[in-house]
Amino acid sequence: IQVDDTSSVVANDEDFVPFLADAKYFQIHSLYEVDDTQVCLQPRSKQQGSTIVVRPYLNDSSRNLQWWTVDDFGQFRNKADSDLCMTKAPESKLKLKQCLERALTTKVATSSFIYSYFTNQIHFAGNPLRIVTVPNNLEDSAIVRLGPNTENSI
């Protein structure tokens, strides 16, 4: 996890597994390189309905599209517009949609995700067997999808 420099990271052992202390924003890096490139999740644009894709990692907190935060419902909110969240869409795609508020808790499952520290994977809360996966190469439109547990998971 790459944390915005306005936040703090505390290492809890010598392997540097970061523990986020008062962290607000982070990048979602793939553990696997795509076309020999380290990649991060980001929407194509900061517009509602934008597809979540992978793009080359940029160590720059001003690149708001690559930075995320998680709310109390497990919704990944994008730094470019914190009212927009990563959401499950048709065809197992992920899109940027309006975040759901407390009054709509029955619908939260479409935009709630769970990060597993044990597997380093992001699971869809509506079906934890579905995880966030990345394409094999950057030429396949780089669309991020929900899929079964594979070697291309985040």
pLDDT at 18: 35
Q: How confident is the model at residue 7 (pLDDT cuts 50, 70, 90)?
A: very low
Rounded distance, CA 69 to CA 113, Å?
12
Q: From the CB of residue 119, how many other CB atoms can be counted at a distance below 10 Å? A: 11
pTM comes to: 0.76
32 or 95, higher pLDDT: 95
pLDDT at 76: 94
Per-residue pLDDT tens over the stretch 24-48? 899 998 887 878 888 899 999 999 9
The three-class DSSP label of residue 84 is strand
pLDDT at 37: 85
Tell me the two tokens of residue 133. 């996966």
Q: How much is the average pLDDT of 112-118?
A: 88
pLDDT at 106: 57
Rounded distance, CA 38 to CA 40, Å?
7
Angle at 87 between CA 84 and CA 88, to 5 degrees: 165
Task: Check if the beta carbon of residue 148 is closer than 8 Å to that of residue 131.
Answer: yes
Mean pLDDT of the chain: 77
Q: Who contacts 103 (Cβ-Cβ below 8 Å, separation ≥6)?
A: none
Tell me which of 62-71, 80-89, 98-107, 120-129 is least confident. 98-107
pLDDT at 137: 73
59 or 66, higher pLDDT: 66
